[in-house]
Structures are given as C-alpha cells and as structure tokens.
Amino acid sequence: MKSQALKGHLDLLLLAILAEGPAHGYAVIEALGVRSDGEFDLPEGTVYPALHRLEKAGLLGSEWSVVGGRRRRTYAISTQGRAALTEQASAWDRFSSAVARVIGDHSANGEPSWA
Amino acid sequence: MKSQALKGHLDLLLLAILAEGPAHGYAVIEALGVRSDGEFDLPEGTVYPALHRLEKAGLLGSEWSVVGGRRRRTYAISTQGRAALTEQASAWDRFSSAVARVIGDHSANGEPSWA
DNA sequence: ATCTACACCTAGAAATACTAGGTGTCAACC
DNA sequence: GGTTGACACCTAGTATTTCTAGGTGTAGAT
C-alpha cells in the first residue's frame, strides 16, 4: 500500500474497453464516452500515448489497416493484458471502497483526536 | 469533462478527514489508515506538501502548538474547504460510477466496432 | 546509549494527463 | 473549387500529482 496508493486509472479503463474486442484509438475514445454516459471525453493526447505505453508494456498488440481510405491502428488486448485487467479491476474495487469509507461515515463526531 | 477528467483524489480524502474536526498532519495520516482499513498508508512526503497546497488555496487554516514537548501544526477546514469537499465528493461519485459503468457490463459482446 | 514512535520538513525524481499543436482522408455544402 | 467538419493518427512540451529519500528534533523505553 505504501507504493503508489493513489495511482491513475486510465490503464484500467482502456483495458476494460479493449477486453470486449479489438478497436482503434478513436473508437476507444468514443466507447469511453458512450459507456460512461459522457463522463469521459478524453483528449487524444491523453489516450494515444497511453495506448502506446500499454503496447510497449505487452498488455496490448496492434495492427495497421486501411478502412475507407483512412489508416487505422487497431489494438487488441493480450493475455498479459487480461491478467493486468483482472488485477487492476480488483485494485479499483479496493481503492474505491476505501475512498467510500473515508468520505462516507460523517457521523462519528466525538472528541477530535488532537484534544 | 475535457479538463482533467482523471484528477487525483488526495485532496478529497484530506478534506473529508478534516471535515470531522481539526487534526495535525501525522494524525491525518493515521486517520486515513484507520478509516480505510489499511488501504491508505500514505508517505509523509505525499501528505505534508498536499496540506500546504490546500492551505495555500484557502481550503484549510493551520495553527502551531506544542503538545508534550513536540510541536504540531493543526489544520482546520475552512468554509471554502467545506464547499470544495461537497463539490469534490459529488465529482467522486460521478467519477466512480462512470468507472463502474465502464468496467462492469462485460456482456455486450456482439460485433466489434471495427467490423 | 540507542532505538522507536512521534512530528515536522524539502528537493528532486517519476509518472500521469493535458495542451497545443501537427498531418492527412473523405463527405458535405456553398 | 473551396471550405468545413468528422474521422484518424501523431508528438513535444508542460503542468500537476505523488513518491523517494533524505533531513531535523523531542520523548520515552530498553
């Protein structure tokens, strides 16, 4: 817990989207927007470098293609990526319920600890 | 949403702890550990600068004292800080439920979008 | 005397996410 | 024929956050 207890969660989101099937970067951004009901409208400058990072880490593979005259780089999750997804999803569960415990429970208003 | 959609959540945690009553830095770290059931065991180098930042931003006030021969800096949340807490708590709710929507729902496995 | 817990601090490194540009294709519209 | 907007990719540099790795000093117990 001492190590990066408050890490970012973008990798988890990207892996989750790609766990449903291969997609290219632009489609990943749109899927995140749709699946989050508009909460996530991530700039390309955030997502593309992250995809590159995940590919370099072996969690994704990619392939170029041309569709309708436009080139696309389609990413697919790897076995390692699925393992990372499982791990990060459970880390998210722990993290988010810990946050809930901290911010909820505003009832225990007895003596302040500093007396 | 386009702007810092994935911000860190430390400020929220600190404000939530201090909303229950004033406390000094070391006590805040311990309270976070206890309230999160050990999930958050944050290094001092993470927490102290964050408290300074929040004070500079006007969300906290602080006062020095000496207890048992040891000097302490006790922080208290300000009115602005309470407003920020309310705002950040609801941002957290939106954020965490959006994450849940993205990583849950692994059933819709129809045609991949890339055809 | 030394060690641990308490209690504070900072500088610099590492990582993350964003801004702000850039390239090029295609379809629609004027 | 020219512009505009959606599609689709990219990177360099910046801002911010968080962590590492030290440092100082008091008090109490061994």
- Residue A101, C-beta contacts closer than 8 angstroms, at least 6 positions apart: B35, B36, B37
Question: Mean pLDDT, to the nearest integer, of B72-90?
Answer: 96
First to last CA, chain A: 29
Is there a domain that residue B42 lies in?
A: yes
Count of domains observed in chain A = 1
Q: How many Å apart are CA B2 and CA B12, to the nearest integer?
A: 20
A68 CA → D1 C1’, Å = 23
Which residue, among A73, A78, A57, A93, has the nearest Cα to A23 in the 3D structure?
A: A73
Over the stretch A19-78, which tens digit does the pLDDT of each residue have?
999 999 999 999 999 999 999 999 999 999 999 999 999 999 999 999 999 999 999 999
Is there a domain that residue B25 lies in?
A: yes
Task: Give the minimum alpha-carbon distance from A56 to chain B in angstroms, rounded to a whole number.
Answer: 22
Q: Which domain holds residue A61?
A: 10-88
3-class DSSP state for residue A66? strand
Q: Strand D: which of residues 2-61 in chain A lie with Cβ below 7 A?
A: 2-7, 24-27, 44-45, 48-49, 51-52
Cβ separation B103–A96 shorter than 8 A: no
Question: Mean pLDDT, to the nearest integer, of A102-107?
Answer: 70
Q: How many Å apart are CA A25 and CA A51, to the nearest integer?
A: 8
Instruction: Supply the CATH number for residue A53's domain.
Output: 1.10.10.10
